[in-house]
Structures are given as C-alpha cells and as structure tokens.
Amino acid sequence: MNANRLAVALVTLAVVTGATAGVASAATDGSLVPDPKGPGETSTHLVTATAGADTAGSWNGFEVDYSESGADASNVDQNDVAKIGIDRGDDASGDTIDVNVSDDVDSVGASSNGEVLTIGLGGSYDVDEGDEVVVVYEDVQHPEEAGSYVTPLDINPQSSGGETTATLTVGSGTSDDTPTTEGDEQTPASTTGDSDGTTAVDTTDDSNANLPGFGIAVAALAIAGAALLAYRD
C-alpha cells in the first residue's frame, strides 16, 4: 500500500472511530455506601447511579440486586425510603439532590428471598443523560460474613439500558462516607473554609478525561495525525 492509500485508510478509520464517541451509553458510576457496615447489622444504604443516554426519559423505578452478598432487603418498605431524587448533572456528592421524587414512589418490595429490592415510581419525573439518581433506604440486613460484593443496580428495571454495578463492602474496608464506585476512581474534592463558617467545595478536576468517548476522540486525533504524516512522506 503506497503512502496516499495508507493516508486515506487512516483518515477513514479516524472518522469512523470519532463517530463512535457519541454512541448511546448505559448507566455508569454505581455506588453503594452502607451505614453501619458491619456483618449481621441492620443498615441504611445510600445507592447512586449516573444515567446514560439509554436511560434518559421518565424515571419509573430502581432495582438493587443483593444476590451475591446475600443481604436481606425483605423488611424494606415504603416508609424506609428516607430519600430518593435526582442530582442534575451529577455535580454534587453524597446524598445531595436537586429534585426530590419521594412523592412519586408508588411501591417498594423485595423478591428472591429478599435479595432483590425494587422501588417503583410513577414516572412523573425525567432523568437526563449525566444525571445521578440517589436513593437512601433503611432496614437492610447485612450478611454474617464480611467481604466486598458486586451488587447490580438498574435505573428503570422494566427496560434495558439502565444497568450498572456497585460494590457493597461489609466489614473492614472502605469507610462509611466514601462511596465504592465501579468504573473510574473518584477524586476527592478539596474544601476551603469561608468566614461565615461554611465550607465551599472545589470541584475543579480533570474529569473531562473520564467523559464517555473522550479516550476514543483522542485516539481518533492521533490516527488523523499519523495519516497526515504518511501523506507528506
């Protein structure tokens, strides 16, 4: 293959690769923080997940699958849902929400011997790509054995596209106030004290490198550069 043909092939590959950066994505960045986290304890769980393009639209439910850990959610009912809502743009930490959807909860129940918890919603609120859904509920019975357990999560379990995972750590390990996140590692935000005693959060970081398609776009630019060099040769 001569230099001109090689250049054309590389440019074509770059265009195709770059186009895939906008492909629809499923949910990401699941986290599950128990408090307390000891074996055999009755715990409150903070669960979050970030919606992808496949998840955007009416929020109709949320599901947590404890099958691997054997945690028991059979005692969790609607009164145990302490908070449920949406963090627009996933720009806050912990259980902070911008939209409270607690008035839209119409069912809470567990199946598979208490190992699969499903929260039903009326669909009155929409989630957009990049929004984080936040759910806090009480009365989960931890397994007797300490360990870290992969826990599937599902935004809108009645349809596909909202699946991701989190890790439930029972016993020693991740501290209660630090979410264990599947996928990219989280960088703690630095804080500065204000004169009025409040704390401001500095959210400046290099998170653009973790945006969907970012790595693909960089690869596409590298391929295009190589094509230009080949053409000049």
* Beta carbons within 10 angstroms of residue 62's beta carbon: 26
* Beta carbons within 10 angstroms of residue 30's beta carbon: 26
Q: Provide the pLDDT for residue 27.
A: 84
Q: Which domains does the chain have, with CATH numbers?
A: 26-190 (2.60.40)
For residue 133, give Cα distances in angstroms to 44, 130, 174: 17, 10, 21
The pTM score is 0.66
Hey, is 111 helix, strand or coil? strand
Rounded Cα gap, residues 190 and 137, in angstroms: 28
| Spatial contact of 133 and 62, defined as CB atoms under 8 Å apart | yes
Q: Provide the pLDDT for residue 43.
A: 98
Contacts of range 192-197, beta carbons closer than 8 Å, 24 or more positions apart: none
Which mean pLDDT values do the consecutive 10-residue runs of the chain (233 residues) have?
A: 47 40 67 98 98 94 98 98 98 96 98 98 97 98 97 94 96 50 40 44 42 47 50 52
Which among 47, 30, 36 has a CA at the least distance from the CA of 175?
Answer: 36
Rounded Cα gap, residues 110 and 49, in angstroms: 20
Q: Provide the pLDDT for residue 48.
A: 98
